[in-house]
Structure 1
Amino acid sequence: MKILFAGKSKLDYNRVKVIKAGLAQLKDVQIIEFKIVKGNAENLNKLKQLSNEVDFIYIPPMRHSDVSYVKKHTSKPIVFDPLISKYLTKADYGQFWKLPVKYYLDKIPFTKADILLSDTNAHRSYFIEKFKLNAQKVHTLYIGADTQTFYKQEKETHKDKKLVVGFYGSFIPLQGTDKIVETAYELRDRKDIFFEIIGNGYTFKKAKALAKKWKLTNIHFHGKVSYEELSPLINTFNICLGIFGDSKKSDMVIPNKVYHYASIGKCILSKDTHGIKELFTENENIVLCENSPKVMAKKITDLKENPEQIKKIGVAAEKLLRTEYNEVEVAKRFLSILKKYRNTH
C-alpha cells in the first residue's frame, strides 16, 4: 500500500510521528511525504502526480483547510486526522462569538473526507453527533506513543529524596495548568515535594504570575524544550501530571503526554474523565481524581507515602502502552481502517 502524507504543515506533529514510526516497521507499506504550497502551480502539479501513484492521501492534524484543496485535485480517498474540532477548541477558549464560523470550518472537511479519524471513542461520538456525519466513515485511532523515542532511562535519583511531580504541555485551557500551580501552593510547606513544569503557551504567563504572587519555591518552569529533550526530562519525574481542565474537551481526550508518560513507565495522575478511562483503569495503571487542587494535593501526598504504589502504577502503565498502544500496533490499526475502506468501496 502506498500512502501520501500531504499537508501545508504538521507533517512532523507527534500524532503523525507515531503513525510513521509504526508504518516504517511494517512490510509492504510505502509513505510519501509532500508539503502543500497553495497558489504554486508547480507544487499543485506535483500533488496531482503523486496522488495518481498512491492508494490513499493522509492529511495531518489541524490541517482542516487542506482537505477541500486536496479533494478538488484528486479522486483518491482522503484520510483526515483532525485531532481537534475548531468549534470545540474555540468554546474551550471562551471565544463563543467565533463558533458559527468554526462550526463550518469543521463540518466541511469532516464531510468531504472519505475517512475521518478520532483519537478517542468520546471524540468520535462528538464528531458524529455534532456535525451529523455518517458513522461508518469515522474511526477511532488511539494516539499511542513511539516507544523508540519515549523509553525508560536509568537516571540518578534525587539525593535529597524529594518527590518530583512533573508536567509538560502547551498551556492550553484543557490542561488546567492553573490548578497545577494551585496544587503546588497547597503543598508549599512540604519540602520533600517539588514541581517541574515544561512548556509554554496560552496560560503560561498566568501560571508563572500565580507562582510569583504566592512566592512559591517548590515549582520550577523550564519553558519550552525540544521534542528530543522531553523523554530524558520525563525520566527524572516520580509522578507525572495529565490534564485537569474544566472544559467539555478535557473530558473527551487522552493527551499525547499521558501516552509518553506511560511509555516511560511513570505513575500518572490525571483528571477522572470518560476519555482517559477508555484505555486506563483507576488504581491499576493510572491514578485519577477530581480536578480540585486540594484533592490533587492529597493524592500526591498519599503517593509520597506509598512508593510501592508509584512503582506498581508505572509498571502497569508501561505494560499497557508497550503491549497495545506502541507505534506498530497503532500503525496496524491505521492500516486496518484503510483496508476496510478499500474492501468496501
Structure 2
Amino acid sequence: MKILFAGKSKLDYNRVKVIKAGLEQLIDVEVIELKIKKGKSDNLKLLKQLDKEVDYIYIPPMRHADVSYIKKHTNKPIVFDPLISKYLTKADYGQFWKLPVKYFLDKIPFSKADILLADTNAHRDYFIKKFQLKTQKVHTLYIGADTKTFFKQKKESNANPNFIVGFYGSFIPLQGTDKIIETAYLLKDEKDLFFEIIGDGYTFKKAKQLAKKWNLTNIHFHGKVKYEKLSPLINSFDLCLGIFGNSKKADMVIPNKVYHYASIGKCILTKHTDGIKELFTDQKNIVLCDNSPKDMAEKIKNLKENPEQIKKVGLAAEKLLRIDYNEVEVAQRFLSILKQHKSAN
C-alpha cells in the first residue's frame, strides 16, 4: 500500500511521527511526503502525479484548510486526522464569539474527508454528534508513542536526590497549568520536593507571574526545549503530571505527554476524565485526582511517601504502552482502518 502524507505543515507533528515510525517497520507499506504549496503550479502538478501512484492521502493534524484543496485536485480517498476541533478549541479559550465560523471550519473538512480519525472514543462521539457525520467514516486511533524516541534510561549516579514532579506542555487552557502552580504553592514547605516545568505558550506568562507573586522557590521553568531533549528530561522526573483543565475538551483527550510518560515507565498523575479512563485504570497504571490543587497536592505527598506505589504504577503504564500502543501497533491499527474502508467501497 502506498500512502501520501500531504499538508502545508504539521508533517513533523508528534502524532504523525508515531504513525510514520510504525509504518516504516511494516512490510509492503510505502509512505511518500509532500509539503503542499498552494498557488505553486509545479507543486500542484506533483500532487496530481502522486495521486495516480498512491492508494490513500493522509492529511496531518490541524490542517483543516488543506482538505478542500487536496480533495479538489485528487481522486484518491482522503484520511483527515484533525486531532482537534477548531470549534471546541475556541470554546476552550473562551472565545465564544468565534464559534459560528469555527463550526463550519470543522464541519466542511470533516464532511469532505473519506475517513476521519479521532484520538479517543469520546472525541469520536463528539465529532459524529456535533457535526452530523456518518458513524462509519469516523474511527478512533489512539496516539500512542514512538518507543524508540521515548524510552527508559538509567539515572546518573549524581542525579538530583530531591523528589522531582515534572510537567511539559504548550500551556494551552486544557492543561490547567495554573492549578500546577497553585499545587506547588501548597507544597512549598516540602523541602525536598521540586517542580520542573517544561514548555511555553498561551498561559506561560500567567504561570510565571503566579510563581513570582507567591515567591515560589520550588519551581524551575525550563521554557521550550527541543523535541529530542524531552525524553532525557522526563527520565529525570520521579512523578509526571498530565492535564488539569476545566473544559469539555480536557475531558475528552489523552494528551501526547501521557503516552510519552508511560513509554518511559513513569508514574503519572492526572485528573479523572472519560478520555483518560478509556485506556488507563486508576491506581493500576495511572493515578487520578480531583481537579483541584488541594487533591493534587495530597496525591503528590502520598506518592512521594510511597516509592513502591510509584514504581508499580510506572511499570504497569510502561507495559500497557509498549504492548498495546507502541508505534507499530498504532500503525497496524491505522492500516486496518484503511483496509476496512477499501473493502467497504
The TM-score with structure 1 as length reference comes to 0.99
**Structure 1 gap ranges (5+):** none
Secondary structure, in 3 states, of the residue corresponding to 1:10? coil
Give the aligned partner of residue 269 of structure 1. 269
Secondary structure, in 3 states, of the residue corresponding to 1:196? strand
Question: What CA distance in whole angstroms lies between the structure 1 residues aligned with 2:163 and 2:293?
Answer: 17
Give the aligned partner of residue 260 of structure 1. 260
Question: What CA distance in whole angstroms lies between the structure 1 residues aligned with 2:40 and 2:145?
Answer: 35
Could you list the per-position Cα deviations for residues 154-186 of structure 1 after superposition, in whole angstroms to 9, with x for gaps in the alignment? 012676631100000000000000000000000
Question: What CA distance in whole angstroms lies between the structure 1 residues aligned with 2:322 and 2:105?
Answer: 36
Give the aligned partner of residue 49 of structure 1. 49
Could you list the per-position Cα deviations for residues 184-234 of structure 1 after superposition, in whole angstroms to 9, with x for gaps in the alignment? 000011111100000000000000000000000000000000000000000
Question: Are positions 1:286 and 2:308 aligned together?
Answer: no
Letter in 1 for 2:8: K
Could you list the per-position Cα deviations for residues 262-288 of structure 1 after superposition, in whole angstroms to 9, with x for gaps in the alignment? 000000000100000000000000000
| 1:12-91 correspondence runs (5 A) | 12-91=12-91
Question: What CA distance in whole angstroms lies between the structure 2 residues aligned with 1:158 and 1:235?
Answer: 14
Which deviates more from structure 2 when the two are superposed, residues 150-159 or residues 226-235? Answer: 150-159
Secondary structure, in 3 states, of the residue corresponding to 1:3? strand
Letter in 2 for 1:319: K
Runs of 4+ residues over 4 Å off in structure 1 = 157-160
| 1:163-182 correspondence runs (5 A) | 163-182=163-182
Q: 1:51 deviation in Å?
A: 1.0
Could you list the per-position Cα deviations for residues 279-309 of structure 1 after superposition, in whole angstroms to 9, with x for gaps in the alignment? 0000000000111001000000000110000
**Structure 2 gap ranges (5+):** none
Give the aligned partner of residue 338 of structure 2. 338
Letter in 2 for 1:266: K
Question: What CA distance in whole angstroms lies between the structure 2 residues aligned with 1:220 and 1:282?
Answer: 28
Provide closer, same or farther for how the CA distance between residues 212 and 2 of structure 1 changes in structure 2, counting only shifts above 3 A. same
Provide closer, same or farther for how the CA distance between residues 108 and 306 of structure 1 changes in structure 2, counting only shifts above 3 A. same
Question: Are positions 1:302 and 2:302 aligned together?
Answer: yes
Secondary structure, in 3 states, of the residue corresponding to 1:245? coil
Give the aligned partner of residue 227 of structure 2. 227
Letter in 1 for 2:51: S
Q: 1:260 deviation in Å?
A: 0.1
Question: What CA distance in whole angstroms lies between the structure 2 residues aligned with 1:153 and 1:7?
Answer: 35
Give the total of aligned pairs: 345
| 1:129-278 correspondence runs (5 A) | 129-156=129-156, 161-278=161-278
Secondary structure, in 3 states, of the residue corresponding to 1:6? strand
Question: What CA distance in whole angstroms lies between the structure 2 residues aligned with 1:220 and 1:142?
Answer: 31
Question: What CA distance in whole angstroms lies between the structure 1 residues aligned with 2:51 and 2:21?
Answer: 22
Letter in 1 for 2:188: R
Give the aligned CA root-mean-square deviation in angstroms.
0.8
Question: What CA distance in whole angstroms lies between the structure 2 residues aligned with 1:160 and 1:24?
Answer: 37
Question: What CA distance in whole angstroms lies between the structure 2 residues aligned with 1:257 and 1:96?
Answer: 28
Secondary structure, in 3 states, of the residue corresponding to 1:312? helix
Give the aligned partner of residue 113 of structure 1. 113
The TM-score with structure 2 as length reference comes to 0.99
